[in-house]
Amino acid sequence: MIESKLREQICRLAKSIFDRGLTGGSSGNISSRTAEGGLLVSPTGSCFGDLDPARLSCFDAQGNQISGDKPTKEMNLHAAFYETRSSAGAVVHLHSTHSVARSLLPGLDPDNFLPPLTAYSIMRLGKVTLLPYFRPGDPAMGDAVKGLAGKRSAVMLAAHGPVVAGKDVEAAVYAVEELEETSRLSMLLQGCNPTLLNAEQIQDVVTHFNVEWD
């Protein structure tokens, strides 16, 4: 995709996320690989509802900023996904309500944050690792992602928000939306003893859609 179109796509999808209340204020950040191997990144302190295509932070393939505003303070988090997952073409980080609420519940499996409520979270996300709380902007978040050695396309930062990598901006956005939707379902079903997908059903989805799952 030519860079001008990619810039417009980033801003259009970010506004859609904001308009539907999936992240608010100046929270959240988004990045994408360019055709030349560089990065376009949402600026620090920017609002998803009002991103300017011309002001996105732009980096060359060597990691040097060449134009745009100062990038998000979560650059280490984005860079960790690009460094460890060769398939990552975009990364989205939100402060979405239901996923954050779920991250505060006791007794969660840190290796598999989401319950198997539907096939779609498995298809789009695989397993989601729950990482502990880090101060916003702490480089240790990036180190924690690197510690996963590329095994996960999505993580949940406790008391903070989800971070998802995808093959492109659209895929990353759809995946992070699925993470939030599954979290919302899980919160609606608290105390209801829902019927989860069983191991055979999960494996069928994993095999049929070639999902990363271990």
Which are the catalytic amino acids? 74, 120
Cα–Cα distances in Å, from 92 out to 11, 22, 81, 189?
A: 12, 12, 11, 26
Report the C-alpha gap between 179 and 96 in whole angstroms: 9
Task: Please give the angle made by the CA atoms of 101, 102 and 107, to the nearest 5 degrees.
Answer: 130
| Nearest to 212, CA basis, from 134, 108, 105, 127 | 127
Rounded to the nearest 10°, the torsion over CA 163, 165, 166, 172 is: 20
Give, rounded to a whole angstrom, the gap between the first and last alpha carbons of the chain.
33
Token digits of residue 150 = 């590329």
